[in-house]
Structure 1
Amino acid sequence: MGFRKTNLFLALTISLIAAFSASAADKPVKVNFWHIGTAATDKGYYQGVADAFMKANPNVTIEMTILENEAFKSKLTTVMQSGNPPDIFHSWGGGVLAEYAKAGLLRDITKFTKGTAWGKSMAPGVWDIYAYNGKQYGAPFDMGAITFWYNKDLLAKVGYTSFPAEWSDFLNLVKKLKAAGIVPIALGGGDKWPAMHMWTYLAARVGGKEVLVNAAQGKGKGFNDPAFVKAGEMLVELVKLGAFQDGFLGATYPDEAALVGNGVAAMELMGQWAPNVQVDSSVSKKGIGDSLAAAPVPAVAKGKGKVTDVVGGGNGMAVGKNAPDAAVEFLKFLTNVENNAEYARVAGIIPTVKGAEVGIPSNNGKMVKQIVDKTEFFQLYLDQFFSPAVGGAVNDAVQTILAGTATPAQACKAIQSTFEMEQ
């Protein structure tokens, strides 16, 4: 789909208000912009946005570098080590962005976001993925969420016309599904990371955002916090209830998706990509169609977390330390409602800007967007938020809990030990 120029020119009149003084506007400015959108649709989108911005700001030149994912990571590491980062570059936020911020490699753009229209255009939780120590260093444009994807028809068979809002009721649903001969939850335990999301969510619901923030910052008891242990105990309870399919410990993620896509399992806890994978993994190659719906992980009684707290991930842009104001203005333009909606249309992303859901082509994507827009706390996937060693330790530990080869307390201790070795 081509770039919608009408929307762009409408956006220009709104976002490009005398950002620079008359004298500054005449001074030539170059902005180095690195992205990983190698597909034709992505290339066309980014080029269209850059061209529109440069037309409105003739003094600004956007120099674009397009790199494949792994090549991008390698080249970015090199330029970061040299202390000369690009002005605007792709970022997944979280721990890596925090390390760059601590090293003084990013520009603090808080004054452009705090209390401004731009800052209010997205949920606080998604902004925080691109912040460190109370300062903003980038902006998200695509942020999905891990949610329960469930089969409405299978839930209706056991008397549920809506998804449970409380964990106790969720356990009751699991029991009823099991009794009816329906697999309650599909889980690709052999791939480890699908189970990691469930453990993360349960810890967040029990201990609130503080427990995850403390673990990341090495404060308090870290991963030995009772909330993490309790989350492990809740996983053990699910195993004892027979919540997962037979052989779940050796199953892959495609196996998990196939169970839901073929109407065998009632639900899975997975990201916004789940509906497409369910379709591809189903025998009919159609999935379960309109029977599919998304819901947040239920609240836990007496838990400190909110049902609006989200675990997920996505994409955004970080701002290099030497970036001129024009680079920040370009980032604002890139993430305005019109352009964010356009990217949703051409690339199928979950846009972060409120109102940009008009560009989401599927109802499934719109359901995820509604959940993301309500979040005040957003936790990036733990195996992406932490270093590869710690992320791997989390995945391994959760699998030992499910397999019964380690107690929840022992598994949490193993994660904390790995974390401490890296400090």
Structure 2
Amino acid sequence: MKRLLVLSILGVTLSCISVANAGTLQLNIAFKGAETRAVWERLIQEFQKTNPDVTPKVAFVEEEAYKVQLPGWLSSVAPDVINWHEGERMAYYAKRGLLEDLSSDWQKNNWDVLFASLKTPSSFNGKQYAMPTQYFAWGIYYRKDLFEKVGIKEEPKTWEEFLDACKKLKAAGIAPIAVGGRDSWTLAAWFDYLDLRINGYEFHMQLMKGDIAYTDARVKKVYNAWKTLIDNKYFIDNPLSYSLDSVQPIYSQGHAAMMLMGTFLSPGLPPNTKLQTGFFRFPTIDPKIAPAEDGSVECLNIPARAANKADARKFLAFIGRSDINGELAKGLGTLPANNQAAMPEDPVAKIGFRILSKTTGGVAQFYDRDMTKEMADEGMKGMQRFITDPSKLDVILGDLEKTRKRIYNKS
């Protein structure tokens, strides 16, 4: 009898532990800046109020560190929910069986309708592994006061006008362009836009898929346009010594006039800087090429090894609601994924929405989101080498071509 009593007590104890674990929801959230973290904290608190039986535990990890740690989480003791990037970056983990299939959630929650335009980048092999949260446009931030100071009367619409603006700013002792090249993806934005404007969307996507040689003359043409900016010293000095976070004060304090970046940067700008900030579409280089844009989509995923998938699904359904999704986008300065959500009031986000909505040449995700991870990593390392010494371009492209052939099994 004593043995039965002990076993009974042990069973109840284990059952209670199981229930307790079931009510704990581990969220690992990448963030960049205090503003981003505060938005997520507020929405997680709202989720807990409507789901008092669930106890969220959140690990906020700075974005660059998050990218490094994510593979380890997914392949070992995984959290219940992660935030990540759609497209190839999501597919990389989905094809390895590390993300939960969310196809039934898409049907159950009417996401097929609410996220209709973002279903493709949320999918891999016909199944959905992500719930899109927000997306953002890319463009060039600029200081209106500095443009006015050197006599630039209009936002540059062509490459010639852009180069002329850079020349005027440089002559006045103002660095035309700030870039934090230590975070290599900030350089990839320059490659994306130069390639999209010079060679167009179809060529760009073929390159992303590994179907075009890096020694192709059209690829070199992109780097030569980039080299024009480097040779004329239109970028800040020593760009590889700055991350995105550390380069922002150079722009905010008026030491540099422009930055190529996504609309997500806007909420974190100091109020006085924001008053002086404008935002314009990357200029046209070849008028025969239909303008294409980067429109990067962010998402939530449930790891395949998650312990509490039931509550994780509740959390995704909550964030996917039109009212909550609108709050998220408003706080982050992005555009809501839910097509029934209210558009944010942020002026840069509004311009970004107009840029994407009027795009006729196609919408890409982003360099390291459209390309297999290993090739993207090597490509961005090559960009850092190029910024350091543009004269080594042929060597760099030759090395990238060898890498392409190896990764994609090209002869």
**Aligned partners of 1:245 and 1:202: how far apart in 2?**
19
Q: 1:215 aligns with which of 204, 207, 223?
A: 207
Aligned position for 1:185:
177
C-alpha distance 132-226 of structure 1, shift in aligned 2 (>3 A): farther
Q: 1:200 aligns with which of 188, 192, 199?
A: 192
> What is the deviation of 1:90?
3.4
Q: 1:390 aligns with which of 363, 375, 400?
A: 375
C-alpha distance 251-317 of structure 1, shift in aligned 2 (>3 A): closer
Unaligned residue ranges in structure 2 (runs of 5+): 1-21, 31-36
Aligned position for 2:257:
266
TM-score (norm 1): 0.69
**Aligned partners of 1:407 and 1:123: how far apart in 2?**
45
Q: 1:378 aligns with which of 364, 374, 395?
A: 364
Are 1:314 and 2:336 counterparts? no
C-alpha distance 153-90 of structure 1, shift in aligned 2 (>3 A): closer
Contact kept, 8 Å, 2:279 with 2:351, in 1: the verdict is yes
**Aligned partners of 1:304 and 1:189: how far apart in 2?**
28
Contact kept, 8 Å, 2:335 with 2:344, in 1: the verdict is no
Larger CA deviation: 30-39 vs 178-187? 30-39
**Aligned partners of 1:254 and 1:47: how far apart in 2?**
27
Q: Which amino acid aligns with 2:300?
A: G
> What is the deviation of 1:63?
8.6
Deviation by residue 1:68-113 (Cα, 9 ceiling, x = unmatched): 5457653322268xxxx96x65332233421333345553739958
Aligned position for 1:172:
164
Aligned position for 2:277:
292
Aligned position for 1:412:
397
**Aligned partners of 2:176 and 2:380: how far apart in 1?**
22
> What is the deviation of 1:149?
0.8
> What is the deviation of 1:202?
1.1
Q: Which amino acid aligns with 1:228?
A: V
**Aligned partners of 1:345 and 1:118: how far apart in 2?**
20
Are 1:153 and 2:148 counterparts? no
Are 1:109 and 2:103 counterparts? yes
> What is the deviation of 1:295?
1.9
> What is the deviation of 1:183?
2.3
**Aligned partners of 1:252 and 1:347: how far apart in 2?**
20
**Aligned partners of 1:297 and 1:129: how far apart in 2?**
23
> What is the deviation of 1:45?
2.1
Q: Which amino acid aligns with 1:77?
A: S
Contact kept, 8 Å, 2:175 with 2:236, in 1: the verdict is yes
Aligned position for 1:97:
90
Contact kept, 8 Å, 2:133 with 2:297, in 1: the verdict is no
DSSP 3-state at the match of 2:301 = strand
**Aligned partners of 1:351 and 1:164: how far apart in 2?**
28
> What is the deviation of 1:157?
3.8
C-alpha distance 296-419 of structure 1, shift in aligned 2 (>3 A): same
Unaligned residue ranges in structure 1 (runs of 5+): 1-29, 56-60, 280-285
**Aligned partners of 2:220 and 2:386: how far apart in 1?**
10
C-alpha distance 122-112 of structure 1, shift in aligned 2 (>3 A): closer
Instruction: Supply the RMSD in Å over aligned alpha carbons.
Output: 4.3
Aligned position for 1:140:
132
Deviation by residue 1:383-406 (Cα, 9 ceiling, x = unmatched): 89643x534422331233233354
1:346-361 equivalences in 2 (<5 Å)? 350-354=335-339, 356-358=341-343
Contact kept, 8 Å, 1:34 with 1:90, in 2: the verdict is no
Q: Decide which structure has the larger Cα Rg and report it.
A: 2
Deviation by residue 1:221-273 (Cα, 9 ceiling, x = unmatched): 3x444443222111111123332234445555456323321223221112345
> What is the deviation of 1:185?
1.3
Q: Which amino acid aligns with 2:395?
A: Q
Aligned position for 2:385:
400
The percentage of counterpart residues that share the same residue type is 23
Aligned position for 1:341:
326
**Aligned partners of 2:234 and 2:104: how far apart in 1?**
45
DSSP 3-state at the match of 1:233 = helix
Q: 1:363 aligns with which of 343, 347, 372?
A: 347
Q: Which amino acid aligns with 1:101?
A: A
Deviation by residue 1:264-298 (Cα, 9 ceiling, x = unmatched): 3221112345446654xxxxxx6523110122212
1:44-63 equivalences in 2 (<5 Å)? 45-46=43-44, 48-49=46-47, 52=50
Deviation by residue 1:171-207 (Cα, 9 ceiling, x = unmatched): 2322233344432212334554432321122122223
**Aligned partners of 1:340 and 1:62: how far apart in 2?**
20
C-alpha distance 397-64 of structure 1, shift in aligned 2 (>3 A): same
**Aligned partners of 1:213 and 1:408: how far apart in 2?**
22
Contact kept, 8 Å, 2:302 with 2:309, in 1: the verdict is no
Contact kept, 8 Å, 2:227 with 2:390, in 1: the verdict is no
